Amino acid sequence: MAWDNSQAHFDNIARAALEPLDTDVSGERESRAYQEEYCVLKRWFRQRMEAHDWKADEVRLGGLMIYGWMPTILRVHGKGDIGGGEDAATNMFDANVEKLIGWLKSVNPEKLEYIDIDKELKNFLNRSYVGTSKFLHFCFPDRIAIWDSRICEALEWGNTPSAAKSQKRAIRYQELICDFVERRFRDEPEGALRKVELALFNRGKVMAKLRSDEEKSRKRMAGSDA
């Protein structure tokens, strides 16, 4: 499907998303718990980044914690590795972990751009731009934004799983949100990236709920006409 990846389109949606929502999608208790868990993860990753000495087991633990925070199971093998047994799966995961550790030790956060990350670490976690963005967001919370299907829907870039898996969408999103934050929150940059991302996420949840309600309504009407 066609998707508008212009900065003007993103800016209009982001500004609207930052306005208070009239619809409470997740509920106050779930929302509070989600934010508390986010803060715990952020502290843990900050400690690892400040120590500047990642170990393979810590990378695994970080990945497991992130996937415990999101409704997806972490896999340690790729599509072609399922028949290769435990060693094949472990070797692939180890290679990804060592590549990530080397990259984390060498990267300059001030010059960090997501397109460079993609060249080095494409889909390193679960072969997913969603998982990769979440892991790296906690490493660089003011430089890399979380990307997922709700964000994709909020930006009107598609509401299917394949849309959120798009390399072009994932990378373009990082460019657009960083540009927006730099202009909109120049005087208060800390935490601004997360603020905009969360506003977009909530907008996407509202859109998904409305879409689901409409689908249920159509089915009820079709059933009554049968």
Q: How confident is the model at residue 89 (pLDDT cuts 50, 70, 90)?
A: very low
Whats the size of the chain, residue-wise? 226
Q: How confident is the model at residue 162 (pLDDT cuts 50, 70, 90)?
A: confident
Which of these, 174, 170, 49, lies nearest to 104 by C-alpha position? 49
What tens digit of pLDDT does each residue of 18-35 get?
Answer: 987 554 544 555 567 778
Please check whether residue 203 is in contact with residue 22, taking contact to mean a CB–CB distance below 8 angstroms: no
Q: What is the mean pLDDT of the chain?
A: 82
**What pLDDT score does 81 carry?**
39
**pLDDT surpasses 80 at 207:** yes
**pLDDT surpasses 90 at 97:** no
**pLDDT surpasses 70 at 190:** yes
- The tally of CA atoms less than 13 A away on the side-chain side of residue 84 is 13
What tens digit of pLDDT does each residue of 38-80 get?
Answer: 999 999 999 999 988 899 889 889 988 988 887 665 555 444 4
Q: Return contacts of 186-189, CB within 8 angstroms, 24+ apart.
A: 189/142
Burial letters for 80-106: b for 16+ Cβ neighbours within 10 Å, e otherwise?
ebeeeeeebbeebbeebbeebbebbee
**What pLDDT score does 76 carry?**
52
**pLDDT surpasses 50 at 85:** no
What tens digit of pLDDT does each residue of 102-144 get?
Answer: 888 888 888 777 766 666 676 677 778 888 899 999 999 999 9
Which of these, 133, 211, 198, 136, lies nearest to 166 by C-alpha position? 133
- Counting residues of the chain whose pLDDT is more than 90, the rounded percentage is 41
